[in-house]
Amino acid sequence: MENEIDEVDEEILHALQEDARNMSSDEIAERTGTSGSTVRKRIQNLEEKEVIKGYSAEVDYGRSGYPLRMILYCTAPIPERGRLIRDILEIPGVISVQELVTGEENLLVTAVGKNDEDITPVAQELLDLGLSVSDEVLVRSHVTTPFDEFSSEE
């Protein structure tokens, strides 16, 4: 398998999910029982295989002045939904798009804004792209965690 990873790679992924910015290769090496140079090579390999697609900051949009987070359930024509994702991501306020493998409600769009006037145009632009919006949900909170299966700790 092209992107097969082993337990060391999984532990590296878990460490990076915990805190990629502050986790040194030597700290990860200690957790994995390898050397810092091995960790750096493995990270480079994971990046080349696009297992690691990039690094980003986890932003608290509420604390940064954008307290509204809206999830919009959309339906796009199946042959076009993959192509539409790039266009959707260009809409101001949209922070993510998830492609769902269903006939109806096959795109999940997340947008943030300061107020209703920021969020309302997102739905209109989705309609302008040819999508139908079946539901809009205001999100109270959003919390993430590293994927436990990547960790050897119990």
What's at 26, amino acid-wise? D
Q: Are 134 and 73 in contact (CB under 8 A)?
A: yes
For residue 14, what pLDDT is reported? 92
Compute the distance between CA of residue 142 and CA of residue 58 in angstroms, rounded to an integer: 11
Please tell me the pTM assigned to this model.
Answer: 0.77
Compute the distance between CA of residue 7 and CA of residue 22 in angstroms, rounded to an integer: 22
How crowded is residue 97: how many other Cβ atoms within 10 Å of its Cβ? 20
For residue 77, what pLDDT is reported? 86
Q: Which domains does the chain have, with CATH numbers?
A: 7-57 (1.10.10.10), 68-138 (3.30.70.920)
For residue 1, what pLDDT is reported? 44
Mean pLDDT per 10-residue section of the chain, whose length is 154 residues = 80 92 93 95 95 89 92 90 91 94 86 92 94 90 82 69
Instruction: Return the sign of the alpha-carbon dihedral for residues 49, 14, 154, 28.
Output: positive
For residue 3, what pLDDT is reported? 64
